[in-house]
Amino acid sequence: MEKLSIYIPKEKQAQKPLERLKKIAKKRDRSLNYLVIEAIRQYLEREEKKAS
């Protein structure tokens, strides 16, 4: 299994991205990892469509 770690810049920490993701993950009964991977997958699909 590959691992990915992220750095949240100080100027973005005030937006509390991890806390917000954790709240959504709990509400949807999904893991934090699932949400992050899903967000990355959707981003890649959008960007790849733009590039073609």
For range 25-52, the mean pLDDT: 96
The residue extents of the domains of the chain are 14-51
Predicted local confidence at residue 1, as pLDDT: 82
- The reply to whether CATH 1.10.287 applies to domain 14-51 is no
Q: Which two tokens stand for residue 13?
A: 């920490």
Q: d(Cα 17, Cα 8) in Å, to the nearest integer?
A: 8
CB distance 25 to 32 below 8 Å: yes
Q: Which two tokens stand for residue 35?
A: 């949400």
Q: d(Cα 46, Cα 26) in Å, to the nearest integer?
A: 26
Q: d(Cα 4, Cα 51) in Å, to the nearest integer?
A: 25
Render pLDDT for 6-24 as a digit per residue (tens, 0 to 9). Answer: 999 999 999 999 999 999 9
